[in-house]
Structure 1
Amino acid sequence: MKLQIGNIYSGFKFESEKEIDEINSKGRVFKHVKSGAVLINLKNEDDNKVFSITFKTIPEDNTGVAHILEHSVLCGSRKFKVKEPFVEILKGSLNTYLNAATYADKTMYPVASRNKKDFMNLMDVYLDAVFYPDIYNTPEIIMQEGWHYAIENEEDDIEYNGVVYNEMKGAYSSPISILSRSMDEELFKGSVYGLSSGGKVENIVDLSYDKALNFHKKYYHPSNSIIYVYGDIDIKEVLTFINDNYLKDFQKKNIDTKIQIKSPLSKIEEKEIEYSISEGESERDKTYFGMSFVTGDVLDRETSMGLELLEEILLEASSSPLKRAIIEKNIGKDVFGIFDDSILKTTFSIILKDSNDEDKEEFKKIVKSTLEDLVQNGIDKKLIKGILNAKEFALREASFDSYPAGLVYNEKILESMLYGGDPFQNLRFNSLIKNIRKYAEENYFEELIEKHILNNNYGVFITVKPRKNLEEEKETEVREKLRRFKESLKEDELKKILDDNIKLKLRQDTPDSEEDLMSIPLISISDVNKKPEKIENEIRDENGVKVIWCPLNTRGIQYVTVYFEGKTIPDEMIPYASILSSVIGRIDTEKYNFKDLSNEAMENLGGMEFGLDVYSKPQNYDEYLPKFVVRSKCLKEKLPKMFELMEEIINHSIYSDYKRLKEIIDEIKSRLEMAIRGSGSSITSVRVGSYVSSAYKYLDIITGIDFYKFISDLIKNFEDKKEEIAEKIKKSAECVFRKENLVVAYAAEKEDYGEFKGLLKDFISNINKDRLELVDYKFELKKLNEAFVMATKVQYVAKGFNFKKFNFKHSGALIVLRTIANYDYLWNNVRVKGGAYGASMSLSRNGHLVFTSYRDPNLTETFKIYDEIGDFVKNFNANSREMDKYILGTISGIDMPLSNYSKCEKVSAQYLTGINDAYMEKERLEILNCSVNDIKNTYDMLNKLSREDCICVFGNEEKIKRNKERFDNIVTIFKE
């Protein structure tokens, strides 16, 4: 039955409905009469259903109360009494997304599932969590998730601990994070956005239990909520459920959530801030500059879109004029922009990395003179057209693999609705793009520069400078503060802190009761497909080249991926091939200079990317395939142009522009350093693997610590070696771009294959057909057991080995073990008790198994937890319901919905690694049939992991040196 506007359905008044052609959806607005809650429904045929509830949460200080509550409300509720309902549903649902997030002025709780029963269960758990959390009865939750005084015995020193406390210690170790936060602090000083909703480390410890409860009472009410429902779900059933189970019990309430913004600045404010580097690091090339401007109201969608595009025009493309002007002056290694339209007032930022304090005025001068020149003489229209085409392609493709599409649309709705705007204005982009295209024929972007940057005094200039051992000084101050605090305590005050810690530990150590666990809703294993989802494909032979053909409904988009043989690269050339993947497509060719090439690609394609990838075969732990991969996408009519550009790039690139090579290599190093600082767990995982596996040694050479050392040495000696470097990059290209063992993957509509076949034939005819001998790499594998010192307050702790090396087999049971480890053993011991932000077990079919922790305050304690997992599985026990949960949680990670592009990637990876349908079906059955005994039988393997003792740590210098006996090598990673 069609819903009628104005009618009331289960307490919700149906207020409006609009067609949103851009995303093939109907946008509906409902208002719950009694409670004041607003519900937005995007109705469409997407089976990946999304639910969220969002509250406008306005911080009053830097204690991170909104962030701590985001963690804490998911730790038990009225109906779901277990300590961690969030984890229990991670273990035991078919969710495709499950998370919570704190923003500057809102807190969001989203879930997604393709299974209707599961979707309704997830919605129930989340609604109960936000409206009826157990925090009112259990202060230990705030202690655990926020912060507490940690002490076990009266004679011990007191320390701070807590998940959010340690998370933010890690977050504020990064100079980019410090710069970003400082720009907002200065721009919005005295207002909401000048505060850290995530919490500043020094202020988190000022948050009291009562203040946390009061914040929840104020903001977590239906009158302050926006509920969101997306996908192919009966909205009337959802409305009935939400009303009958939750909203009917609330009365409408007036909640003050007005955001006050102070008067604009009358001149550009400047500020200098320090960040910590370790004793062994050089201060040279370690200064960061950021200039940021408040540019308007987020509800002015046209201007916001214009500024978003302007940031890409000026700073993101190879031909971007502001980026070129700064890089060519050699005053920094990397420059980029950020346009932020996630809050009420939009901001436009220009950031220069790896510079020096003496270059500050030159940076300002270049920005000013370049922008003035662009205003006076105009921006290249071809660049503008290319950026516009790329943006429109991305909007129409709507490909979001790690994120459900419905969640992306949810965020776009909130970015207008939260501030009183039309909920759907950010989803309707057709007329917006059309208008901006028309304006761009005149001086639209030039006028934006003039108004919002050159003539805008509402801005700041922040300098973030390195200082040796600043972190150690701060830690010393904290320890001294806590020492004085302990000395000031009366006997009964110290006893209370000790008792509070006992209560917290008791809660953490006490298993959930059978009755409480039964409260978590669970779908049946019978609801799960026994066979993996099949992706239609076939393997064809075209002119001696294997083609992986995926006929899919791609809405006119063509996906072409070309896999070139990587084993034609000599040993010593491997890192140069990795550099090639960053250089190619960004340098001159015989037909185009690199700026024109960039514009041509953006104008005609949806993207063309290059990478050196490794595909490991599951049959043998040391059998792997390096492939140099070219990934491209375009609209059907642009397919000939795509092949033309690809052929031009791979056959006619010019590698002798030494200045351009140096720019790109500097950028590679700069971004790799940022990745090491921000993603230490992935770097440590690869490094541990490189001790025991040739495949991971190869990965380390092309992306990890070995590659970082190699790049650092190249930069140090670039002037002496530039001809040799250019020649070796060119030689690596000559080794790679050959017809030998060429594989091409293609995803498009069925009727498109004929044209593709003809174009592919022409492309192949232009590829080098000479054969090269394949190299059998013989890497020296050595257990190095390293600790890499960084100026950080936390650690990334890894331990691993290759179990196939010791004749243990991969199986579906190991994949279930990973779920158990991640959401039970490691979660409880490393995160909940240890206070780390995260910990995980990763596993690959070729035998690589590694435990890693993320933003971890501990080191040896975490290794001990890794070593004792064998005892955990030896004593593991679970009833049939609990085993079903672990199995369901495992399957949910496997059955994630994929975009068309990712479907083709998955099929290609399986082809290259020799994984067939029978293999996948066998593995899935092993997961579905996994038993307690199967988990117990992993004891010998995990015990071997403990004895092998392959470890790697990135972390705090003092912490590492206090535990130096654990390591064979201690290295300052960023030393010059």
Structure 2
Amino acid sequence: MLRAAISSSWSRCVLKRRLSAEWRRSYAVVSKAQERAKQYQPGDRLHGFSVEKVVPVPELYLTAVQLRHDKTGAQYLHVAREDTNNVFSVGFRTTPMDSTGVSHILEHTVLCGSQNYPVRDPFFKMLNRSLSTFMNAWTASDYTMYPFSTQNGKDFENLLSVYLDAVFFPRLRQLDFMQEGWRLENEVTEDQSTPIAFKGVVFNEMKGAMSGPDQLFAHSLQSKLLPSHTYSHNSGGEPIRIPDLTWDQLKQFHASHYHPSNSRFYTYGDLPLERHLELIEEKALSHFERLQPHTEVPNESRWASPREHTMYCPPDPMAPDPNKQTTLAASYVIKDVTDAEELVFGQILGSLLVDGPTAPFYHSLIGAGIGSDYAPCIGYSSQTRDSTFSIGLRGLAEEDVDRVKKIIEDTIAKVIRTGFEPERIEAILHKIELSNKHQSTQFGLGVAAALMPSWNHGNDPSTNLKITQLVDSFKAKVAADPNYLQSKVKEYFQDNQHKLWLTMKPQEDYVEEQEREEKEKLDGMVAKLTETDKMDIYERGLELAEEQKREEDMTCLPSLKVSDIDAKAKRTAVETRHMGGVHTQFCEQPTNGITYFRAMFTPDNIPDDLQIYLPLFCNVITKMGAGELDFIEFAQKEELKTGGISTSRHIAQYHSDVMQYEQGIGLSSFCLDRNLPDMFDLLLRVFTSPRLNDMERLATLVRMEAAELANSIVYMGHAFAMKRAGSSLSPSGRLHEIAGGMTQVSFLKGLAEKENLDPVLAHLQTIASLVLNKTNMRCAVNSSPEGVDQAANQLTRFLDNLPGSPLGDSLHLTQASDFSPSEERMHYELPFPVNYMSHAVCGVPYSHPDFPKLRVLARLMSAKYLHREIREKGGAYGGGASMGTEGAFKFYSYRDPNTVETMSAFESSVQWALDGKFTQQDIDEAKLSVFSVVDSPLSPAEKGATLFSTGIDNDMKQETRDALFAVTKDDLRDVAERYLMDGKRTHATTLLGPTTTMTSQGWNILKE
């Protein structure tokens, strides 16, 4: 599960003194967790650990306890805080010195069975035996991290046992290495006469990952900018190098890197620290002695002069102009990431330079209109031993490269001369203040991911938590020296010789060249095989296939029971008022002095030919200015007074009828309570005087949006396939595809190619006249008990100044009388080495009695059948089934090398369900997995949002909950027969990827 470290804002929780009785009770309970933490003293010994420091961080309402394991030297950080969503993570510094993907393949393989849990893939099986709110693992450039979170104390201990056993005592069997990493195997496993091919989950994953220009650029930038040590290699694995890795090398890497002496433990939440320490000591650390891991990463030696490098990528079939596909960036090595003050300063300076229309580089690069968007990886990064900064453009004509270089250097020189406007600095500091108060459901996980990159290299993690102190230090330096920022820009960029100019160009035969290299590699390996070797490969393939089929005894794995789930759904209290005739929902929550505002506009008079423009309208309406404010001035006030103003396409199938839906536009914003008048003033400007008349600005936004959406296909191809497959089955599915599927990708590409956007501006102006009024409007406000009255007063003033006559409805439904489900088979031919596929079948709406049954069935089929067939056997990165709220049951696969076999797996999974080849334990596990989603935590800002957007209320949620508990084996077989059997319901299939014989007949093929 390769992924970049999660970016996370520093946040969140300073409760006000005056709280309602309910929140006072919560406050008291949580205070006990912090008070326990504050009682520890440096030198205290707890279950083999010694306390090193205790650090209260009142602005984040937490107390950090740092410890070290006496015997092994393992580092430990516990964050005690008001949160029932408890987190565990263990991370290891992993420093591969080649591009075989050893750290990535090891991450996969340790999760394939361990000493106390000797079953195939206990990690995935625990997804169905737990109420976890998060389970994952990821490989970064220089560390590997294994986190989970859950709200259930018993579940926490279950998952902790599995995670500890996995990382410290894995089986690391050769068959697991072959399945997850790579292997040679006959194309048809059971037929020795078929050619030998490369197979493996990570091999196919990285073929997909490294086919995207963004990923190629990011890896090349890091490897060329930091070439002397581990960063010069691809920790995920270069597909052409992965077959160089041996099983023995994998085991050696585990022995040298996955040791407590090379580890960093993290826990978070309101569960007692001492119990965590007791379990970690008992189950893992007591079995080890200290060693010197020698995994340190040295600082990069600084260059005497800048360097340049040119690389190549596949052409982008979605590029509006095939002659503008060059990407350029300037990248700099900055400072050691172990300096906490420099980290905060770098983050602030990076934001000042590149974020939003008021930033110097946005103005000089994006505003120049010569590229489509920023280059990948722009801005400040602290993910490596030395922090870096990159800036550049994509979507360039090759002849504009030198021009962009000059713009970058001129912009740096101008900033050194003129500095930053005080309002710009104030806006960044306001953003930090707001993020400290804004509460997130995964705050603890975000903290872990944010701390790990610098903690990994010896930085004190508790120091980095003291964000207010670090920001105050920044303010003091700026106040003491008016030229402080300019001097830093000069030091970091103008005087910095460690600079890389990286250029990426399209190469017409890039894909063919990659295929040729892979074929040469394969042919070379096969040519060296003796007949005995080939027989061994054939027999190992059969052995792996048999292992993948083998039924296992899962009783060794811990599991919650369905009886552990609360029978009653958590209910959210809301109050409904009519503010000037507008239906308004109020929800009192402990929001730390922030008010969250939502509005929904659901006009029924938008012509069909304008529907496809609605996503673009959402993207540009708050980015072109309003009233007397141009887009730069508007953005400046938005940053100073709000947490942002966002608009999005709203499409919601009615909970009781597949053929009814609500569609329109949603708007949201939030601000500190003191800024409520300013927030509503900005919103009023957008509603009453949007500046939809700037052709140049519109062209810039169209280019950026077209590039962003097209670039997302390689990462989210299964989502695009699922949208398309569902588009012919329900009216809401059709609208979702138009709004964010391949139809929208093609539409934006066409707009980006146009020289004259006058007709587009006219369409957007028409939409504004139809949408921006209170006729079909409803609102929602989440605020603290102290802030509700102020929010209501400001909202009333806002609504009084809007045009239109409100209808006062909570939902405004459309009946799709002209829609009829139809079968469709669509193949978008794209230059990917792997496929993304979806097969969809007409389903039912949320309140239908069969919806809970189909939801459990989807999870059951995913965990007990499709995962084995598509991932373990087929080598795809992922696959499964889902029953969503848009009225379709969908199968899918992700980064999949085998379309024919996957389609067969979709079909055979239905027969598997009909045959009832599953147990009551399997059903219970599927229910646990469904409830882990149903009961996922909600932030104060999110409470009541489902009711507001879909009309699904507390009682309906309880009815669905009761029905989920009641699902039986007969129910699952029944809905499989009535909905999924071929010919019973209308279905559709979509494939994204390379040419394949599967789609040669009866398919609609689009060559993008």
**The two structures share one fold, judged by TM-score above 0.5:** yes
Structure 2 vs 1, CA of residues 906 and 951 (structure 1 numbering), >3 Å: closer, same or farther? same
Moved more, 824-833 or 36-45: 36-45
2:284 — aligned with what? 246
1:537 aligns with 2:591: no
Cα deviation for residue 712 of structure 1 reads: 2.4
- CA separation in 1, counterparts of 2:866 and 2:496? 50
- CA separation in 2, counterparts of 1:482 and 1:524? 48
Q: Which amino acid aligns with 2:764?
A: I
1:643 aligns with 2:680: yes
Q: Which amino acid aligns with 2:759?
A: E
1:174 — aligned with what? 212
Deviations 1:579-607 (A, max 9, x none): 11111111132221110110001001112
- CA separation in 2, counterparts of 1:409 and 1:763? 37
Q: Which amino acid aligns with 1:174?
A: G
- CA separation in 2, counterparts of 1:804 and 1:506? 37
Alignment match of 2:381 (pick from 330, 337, 340): 340
- CA separation in 2, counterparts of 1:630 and 1:858? 41
Moved more, 597-606 or 947-956: 947-956
1:178-197 equivalence runs, <5 A: 178-197=216-235
Structure 2 vs 1, CA of residues 481 and 234 (structure 1 numbering), >3 Å: closer, same or farther? closer
- CA separation in 2, counterparts of 1:206 and 1:410? 33
Cα deviation for residue 761 of structure 1 reads: 1.7
Structure 2 vs 1, CA of residues 448 and 792 (structure 1 numbering), >3 Å: closer, same or farther? farther
1:936 aligns with 2:980: no
Alignment match of 1:111 (pick from 99, 124, 148): 148
2:560 — aligned with what? 523
Cα deviation for residue 237 of structure 1 reads: 1.8
- CA separation in 1, counterparts of 2:748 and 2:316? 20
Alignment match of 2:182 (pick from 140, 147, 152): 147
1:656-667 equivalence runs, <5 A: 656-667=693-704
Cα deviation for residue 226 of structure 1 reads: 1.3
Alignment match of 2:504 (pick from 441, 464, 470): 464
Cα deviation for residue 438 of structure 1 reads: 4.1
Q: Which amino acid aligns with 2:964?
A: I
1:174-573 equivalence runs, <5 A: 174-277=212-315, 283-335=322-374, 337-399=378-440, 401=441, 404-440=442-478, 442-513=482-553, 517-573=554-610
Does the CA-based 8 Å contact 1:568-1:774 persist in structure 2?
A: no
2:31 — aligned with what? none
Alignment match of 1:760 (pick from 795, 807, 815): 795
Deviations 1:750-773 (A, max 9, x none): 232222222222211221215899
1:5 — aligned with what? 42
Q: TM-score, normalised by structure 1?
A: 0.95
Cα deviation for residue 936 of structure 1 reads: 1.3
Structure 2 vs 1, CA of residues 240 and 769 (structure 1 numbering), >3 Å: closer, same or farther? same
Cα deviation for residue 562 of structure 1 reads: 0.9
1:792 — aligned with what? 832
- The CA RMSD measured in Å over matched residues stands at 2.2
Deviations 1:220-239 (A, max 9, x none): 11111111121111222222
- CA separation in 1, counterparts of 2:838 and 2:287? 48
Does the CA-based 8 Å contact 1:620-1:846 persist in structure 2?
A: no
2:900 — aligned with what? 860
Structure 2 vs 1, CA of residues 485 and 204 (structure 1 numbering), >3 Å: closer, same or farther? closer
Does the CA-based 8 Å contact 1:388-1:437 persist in structure 2?
A: no
Q: Which amino acid aligns with 2:770?
A: C
Deviations 1:805-837 (A, max 9, x none): 999864212221122122222211111111111
- CA separation in 2, counterparts of 1:471 and 1:962? 19
Q: Secondary structure at the residue paired with 1:901?
A: coil
Structure 2 vs 1, CA of residues 594 and 280 (structure 1 numbering), >3 Å: closer, same or farther? closer
1:827 aligns with 2:864: no
Cα deviation for residue 121 of structure 1 reads: 0.7
Q: Which amino acid aligns with 2:297?
A: I
Deviations 1:511-562 (A, max 9, x none): 112xxx1111112322211011112212222221111111001010100001
Does the CA-based 8 Å contact 1:801-1:945 persist in structure 2?
A: no
Q: Which amino acid aligns with 1:98?
A: M
- CA separation in 2, counterparts of 1:842 and 1:596? 44
Cα deviation for residue 64 of structure 1 reads: 0.8
Q: Which amino acid aligns with 2:662?
A: L
Structure 2 vs 1, CA of residues 967 and 430 (structure 1 numbering), >3 Å: closer, same or farther? farther
Deviations 1:889-929 (A, max 9, x none): 221111111111222423312xxx33232321121122222
- CA separation in 2, counterparts of 1:749 and 1:185? 49
- CA separation in 2, counterparts of 1:782 and 1:455? 63
1:575 — aligned with what? 612
Q: Which amino acid aligns with 2:685?
A: E
Does the CA-based 8 Å contact 2:574-2:586 persist in structure 1?
A: yes
- CA separation in 2, counterparts of 1:839 and 1:45? 36
Structure 2 vs 1, CA of residues 421 and 713 (structure 1 numbering), >3 Å: closer, same or farther? closer
Cα deviation for residue 775 of structure 1 reads: 7.7
Alignment match of 1:587 (pick from 624, 630, 640): 624
Q: Secondary structure at the residue paired with 2:415?
A: helix
Q: Secondary structure at the residue paired with 2:507?
A: strand
Moved more, 233-242 or 78-87: 233-242
Cα deviation for residue 502 of structure 1 reads: 1.4
Cα deviation for residue 416 of structure 1 reads: 3.3
1:690-839 equivalence runs, <5 A: 690-719=727-756, 722-769=757-804, 778=818, 783-804=823-844, 810-839=850-879
Does the CA-based 8 Å contact 1:268-1:457 persist in structure 2?
A: yes
- CA separation in 2, counterparts of 1:702 and 1:25? 42
- CA separation in 1, counterparts of 2:332 and 2:597? 40
- CA separation in 2, counterparts of 1:279 and 1:543? 51
Cα deviation for residue 678 of structure 1 reads: 2.1
- CA separation in 2, counterparts of 1:199 and 1:596? 45
- CA separation in 2, counterparts of 1:238 and 1:390? 35
Q: Secondary structure at the residue paired with 1:267?
A: coil
1:84 aligns with 2:118: no
Moved more, 276-285 or 542-551: 276-285
Structure 2 vs 1, CA of residues 472 and 966 (structure 1 numbering), >3 Å: closer, same or farther? farther
Q: Which amino acid aligns with 2:252?
A: N
- CA separation in 2, counterparts of 1:563 and 1:328? 32
Q: Which amino acid aligns with 1:554?
A: T
Cα deviation for residue 262 of structure 1 reads: 4.1
Cα deviation for residue 456 of structure 1 reads: 1.3
The aligned length equals 957
1:156 aligns with 2:194: yes
Cα deviation for residue 279 of structure 1 reads: 8.2
- CA separation in 2, counterparts of 1:809 and 1:884? 19
Cα deviation for residue 334 of structure 1 reads: 0.7
Structure 2 vs 1, CA of residues 499 and 808 (structure 1 numbering), >3 Å: closer, same or farther? farther
Deviations 1:152-206 (A, max 9, x none): 2332111111111111111111111111100111011121111111111111110
2:922 — aligned with what? 882
Does the CA-based 8 Å contact 2:776-2:806 persist in structure 1?
A: no
- CA separation in 1, counterparts of 2:911 and 2:109? 30
